[in-house]
Amino acid sequence: MLWQPLLVGDPEMDGYQTTQQIRTEPRFAASPVIVLTAHAIAGEQERCLAAGMNDYLSKPCEVAQLRAMFKRWLGSSRANNA
């Protein structure tokens, strides 16, 4: 699985558009898209999930929160190596 950060506010193709593009590609359609953002504003989590992202975490966050999210989406053996 390839990890590539998405910028939600990228001027060329934002994270919402990128996620929607990922979901149209059969080989990536089931890949988890996880958001880690500094833009923790009202409605942002709902907007991300509605765009097809699987999970949402806002900064600042604890390492334990991030690890738990990786475990949830990647499985415990792969998350422990993250």
Q: Is the pTM of this model over 0.75?
A: no
Tell whether 21 is covered by a domain: yes
**Is residue 8 domain-resident?**
no
Q: CA distances (Å), 19 to each of 2, 53, 64, in order?
A: 14, 7, 25
Domain count, the chain: 1
Task: State how far the alpha carbon of 30 is from the alpha carbons of 11, 14, 35, 39, 48, in Å.
Answer: 26, 20, 16, 25, 16
Q: What is the mean pLDDT of residues 59-73?
A: 90
What are 11-57's pLDDT values in tens digits?
677 888 889 889 999 998 888 998 888 878 889 999 999 999 999 99
Q: State which residues form the domain around 33.
A: 15-79
Examine residue 29 and state whether it is found in any structural domain, yes or no.
yes
**C-alpha–C-alpha distance, residues 62 and 30, integer Å:** 27
Tell me the CATH number at 56.
3.40.50.2300
> For residue 5, is it within any domain?
no
Mean local confidence (pLDDT), 56-70: 90
Give the Cβ contact number of residue 13 at 10 Å.
Answer: 12
**Quick check: is 10 in a domain?**
no
Say if 33 falls within a structural domain.
yes
